[in-house]
Amino acid sequence: MKHLTKLLFLFVALFLPTTLSAQPGSENYDEANKINAEADKQLNAAYDQLIKSIRADNEKDRAEVLVARLQESQRAWLKYRDAQVAFVGIHANVGSASSRTLGMASYSAELTKERIKDLTTVPNPF
């Protein structure tokens, strides 16, 4: 009986992940991860470029203040984005979980693209 239990455990450990990844909709999760990863990569590049620009265009003390404010702004924006996407995902309670995940990733990417525009063309209200 112990051997049968071990064999069953081994079978589940080896084949269950493959079976789960082949489930319908799993490609939606993979696509959602790709969408989020690409959007975050672009966001990080824009953020890093703005920091470099701030440091290059300002004296050290002013640059430190500006970078600190940018970091504060970015942290707040990330919290907003994640909360907004979670809200929309719950509010739009339609379709399968995997299709909602893909939709939420697409919405997150849209919000991220808007943030990238803000970072690359910092508004000057004066």
Q: What is the pLDDT of residue 5?
A: 44
Architecture of domain 28-120: Up-down Bundle (1.20)
Name which residue leads in pLDDT, 9 or 91. 91
pLDDT tens sequence across 15-53: 434 444 444 557 877 888 898 899 999 999 999 999 999
Closest-CA residue to 34 (of 96, 86, 105, 100) = 105
120 close to 46: Cβ distance less than 8 angstroms: yes
- Per-domain boundaries in the chain: 28-120
pLDDT tens sequence across 52-81: 999 999 999 999 999 999 999 999 999 999
Q: What is the pTM of this model?
A: 0.73
The DSSP code for 92 is S
